[in-house]
Amino acid sequence: MEFDLAAFGIVGLETSLGLSLALVAQGHLTLAQLVQKMAKAPADLMGINNDIVPGNPADLTLINMDAGWTVDPNSFVSKGRNTPFAGRRLTGAAVLTIVDGRIVYAIDC
């Protein structure tokens, strides 16, 4: 549709990991830098110690680095559907999320 009639904004969260892992694959940043930017830095800003050490809550996300998928806005969990990446093939996906020791998200891959 015409730009001025389109809904505002784009979905970012559902494609952020796959797109960021593409930057790692292209050598623009290391995996350690990606973890710092997507997990450690935001937690630090909120005053959360998310280090993986005994005594801390088990808040973890497991990533299948080989999981290939195609961006399909119709499969997004969020209500938004706007994305410039529809149809793009990405590699790497979160397959398990644990919050405070409880599995809150899991997919088969």
DSSP 15-31: HHHHHHHHHHHTTSS-H
Q: Any idea of the CA torsion for 97, 103, 55, 33, to the nearest 10 degrees?
A: 0
- Would the pLDDT of 6 be above 90? no
Q: Name the pLDDT band for 108 (thresholds 50, 70, 90).
A: confident
- CA atoms within a 13 Å half-sphere pointing along the CA-CB vector of 69: 22
Give the C-alpha distances (Å, rounded to integers) separating 78 from 15, 54, 74, 75, 81. 11, 34, 10, 9, 8
Q: How many CB atoms within 10 Å of residue 12? A: 12
Distance, in Å, from the CA atom of 56 to the CA atom of 50, rounded to the nearest integer, reads 7
Choose from 51-60, 71-80, 85-94 the range with maximum mean pLDDT. 85-94
pLDDT confidence of residue 80: 85
- Would the pLDDT of 109 be above 70? no
Instruction: Note whether 26 and 15 are within 8 A (CB).
Output: no
DSSP 5: G
Give the amino acid at 107: I
What tens digit of pLDDT does each residue of 12-69 get? Answer: 899 999 999 999 999 999 999 999 999 999 999 999 999 999 999 989 999 999 999 9
Average per-residue pLDDT for the chain: 92
